[in-house]
Structure 1
Amino acid sequence: MPDPLHPDAPQTDPARSDALYDELLELALEAARRAGTLLRDGRPADLGVAATKSSPIDVVTEMDLASEKLITGFIGEHRPDDGFLGEEGASSDGTSGIRWVIDPVDGTVNYLYDLPAWSVSIAAEKDGEVVVGVVAAPMRGETCQAVVGRGAFNNGERLRHRPAPPLSQALIGTGFGYLAERRAGQAEVVRRLLPQVRDIRRGGSAAIDLCDVACGRLDAYYERGLNPWDLAAGDLIAREAGALTGGRPGKAVSQELTLAASPALFGQLQPLLDELGAWHD
């Protein structure tokens, strides 16, 4: 139906969009499943000591690369004109208007130490907007997914964020960067925030933390320094579960700051984090 306010704007066929989003979701789910299986079953039992490599990090890097290659290869077979942006270097513009944003192992330190909180994060953008998101956490036996406008689900069960508690009773997730100067600044923010909330958790996978907000396992989550592949899928899943996401007041999520929370709590946390300087080192 033509838009009466913008009669000259190009019209989108809803059925065509639905079919496209269904296709993108199916590909993301299957790619995440395959990559998760590769990572779970291919992880050496002695990765912590990695006797056959110069360091355990070499093995983790190889698994990162193998996972990204599997994902881009699988999707590329089905949609050769799409673009890619991946943590491990996949970068192409494509010609279809679709770009895949991929974190082949989100939570690599957890993966290194055989902690279960690592994930495969795959999002699909259409003309710059994230329309599909999948976060698979194989060691938790969970796959969260969302399509824009259709809600969010975990293993087929619809997700809804937790109703906002008072700030003093809120359980907050966060994460820390790798640079010492940034970590020192983030520690100072935590020092000042902790007395004002129930407690703070550091899970180690931004994608899982965002999904945990969607699942109601966290009341809110914030972090500075996230890249597009860290947050693209999880941000959509959180929003489709009814949470609000954003950065500094008036800004969208970005490397500067990412915040996800139930709406009432979001309104309290965003100005507080801005005051505490969570957006700068």
Structure 2
Amino acid sequence: MSTSTYLETAVSAALAAGEFLRSHVGTALEVNEFAAHDIKLELDVRSQELITKHLLDRFPDHAIYGEEGIAGNQQSDFQWIVDPIDGTVNYFYGIPHYCISIALRERGEIIVGVIHDPSRHETWQVERGGTPTLNGKPIHVSTRNQLSDAVLSIGFAKSKETISAGLPVLDYFVSKARKCRLMGSAALDLAYVACGRYDAYIESSVSLWDVAAGKILVEAAGGKFEMKPRTDNPDKISVRASSGLLDLEVRP
């Protein structure tokens, strides 16, 4: 089956989940868990269930790996990587900066990526070997090559260790870049890098579902994506994505 078919299904699932989330904006939201720096909503689960049904109805032998659990055939060569609400805290507080992120991995290689922002009706999408687009228009990473002209997103994770790791990075770049932002959605940060709104995104600890779709988008748009597992938590990764034109090394 062609990657275009997979991409069309992923876009359809993301749009359906987006409409579902938009329909609940401003309503009383059921919280499954309050944590020190995070919130788990009942809608996270329902959004993933909607996406899972959409994908597995079309591809019943595929696997689902998402923030809210796994489903399908976990022995399959095809694994959908799903974040049903990236930016849940923003969503809960009524801040219109959240998204749905869906990627498809075939034997370890990401071949499809979709990021959908329901608030702004923006959809980024790409398939392996294809042209990345935002609402149907081709995108490319920024051509800015001076840090003083750049806008960077510096992400902070939720543990004491990762916050401590992130603060020196923010301190280093905040005086060197034009602006540093902390917006609360890793997937949208990567989408913004892919289309040139941001020049780089740096995060010390995220999950694969946060960045899988963004990885293929950034790379297809001409950018650079680096990630490595954290030594203290094998389920988390450190990420640095950029246009590839900036010096992003943190020096004493």
TM-score, normalising length: structure 1? 0.80
1:260 correspondence with 2:236: no
- Opposite residue 112 of structure 2, the aligned amino acid is V
Query: CA separation in 2, counterparts of 1:69 and 1:45?
Result: 20
Tell me the equivalent position of 1:22.
4
- Opposite residue 150 of structure 1, the aligned amino acid is G
* 3-state SS of paired residue (2:206): coil
Tell me the equivalent position of 2:174.
194
* Cα 1:54/1:211, change in 2 over 3 Å: closer
Tell me the equivalent position of 1:232.
212
The question of whether the paired residues in 2 share the 8 Å contact of 1:83 and 1:94 is answered with: yes
Tell me the equivalent position of 1:163.
143
Over alpha carbons, which structure has the higher Rg?
1
Which stretch of the first structure deviates more once superposed, 96-105 or 53-62? 53-62
What's the offset of the Cα at 1:110? 0.7
What's the offset of the Cα at 1:35? 0.7
Tell me the equivalent position of 2:231.
none
1:34 correspondence with 2:13: no
The question of whether the paired residues in 1 share the 8 Å contact of 2:101 and 2:187 is answered with: yes
Same amino acid, percent of matched pairs: 35
- Opposite residue 26 of structure 1, the aligned amino acid is E
CA deviations on 1:220-243 (whole Å, 9 max, x unpaired) are: 111111111000001111111111
Query: CA separation in 1, counterparts of 2:61 and 2:162?
Result: 39
Q: Quick one: which of 107, 125, 129 aligns to 1:127?
A: 107
Q: Which has the higher strand share?
A: 2
* Cα 1:55/1:191, change in 2 over 3 Å: same
Q: CA-atom RMSD, angstroms? A: 2.3
Tell me the equivalent position of 2:232.
none
* 3-state SS of paired residue (2:65): strand
* Cα 1:187/1:45, change in 2 over 3 Å: same
Query: CA separation in 1, counterparts of 2:166 and 2:195?
Result: 25
What's the offset of the Cα at 1:180? 2.7
- Opposite residue 154 of structure 2, the aligned amino acid is T
Tell me the equivalent position of 1:209.
189
The question of whether the paired residues in 1 share the 8 Å contact of 2:142 and 2:199 is answered with: yes
TM-score, normalising length: structure 2? 0.89
What's the offset of the Cα at 1:103? 0.2
The question of whether the paired residues in 2 share the 8 Å contact of 1:86 and 1:101 is answered with: yes
The question of whether the paired residues in 1 share the 8 Å contact of 2:64 and 2:71 is answered with: yes
* Cα 1:54/1:26, change in 2 over 3 Å: closer
- Opposite residue 172 of structure 2, the aligned amino acid is R
Aligned residues: 244
What's the offset of the Cα at 1:91? 4.6
1:73 correspondence with 2:53: yes
* 3-state SS of paired residue (1:247): strand
By relative contact order (CA 8 Å, sep 6+), the higher-ranking structure is 2
What's the offset of the Cα at 1:92? 4.9
Which 5+ residue runs of structure 2 have no aligned equivalent? 229-234
Q: Which has the higher helix share?
A: 1
Query: CA separation in 2, counterparts of 1:54 and 1:102?
Result: 19
The question of whether the paired residues in 2 share the 8 Å contact of 1:60 and 1:112 is answered with: no
- Opposite residue 4 of structure 2, the aligned amino acid is D
- Opposite residue 224 of structure 1, the aligned amino acid is S
* 3-state SS of paired residue (2:153): strand
* Cα 1:162/1:54, change in 2 over 3 Å: closer
* Cα 1:59/1:227, change in 2 over 3 Å: closer
The question of whether the paired residues in 1 share the 8 Å contact of 2:14 and 2:51 is answered with: yes
* 3-state SS of paired residue (2:171): helix
The question of whether the paired residues in 1 share the 8 Å contact of 2:154 and 2:166 is answered with: no
What's the offset of the Cα at 1:216? 0.9
Query: CA separation in 2, counterparts of 1:89 and 1:96?
Result: 16
Query: CA separation in 1, counterparts of 2:83 and 2:105?
Result: 14
* 3-state SS of paired residue (2:145): coil
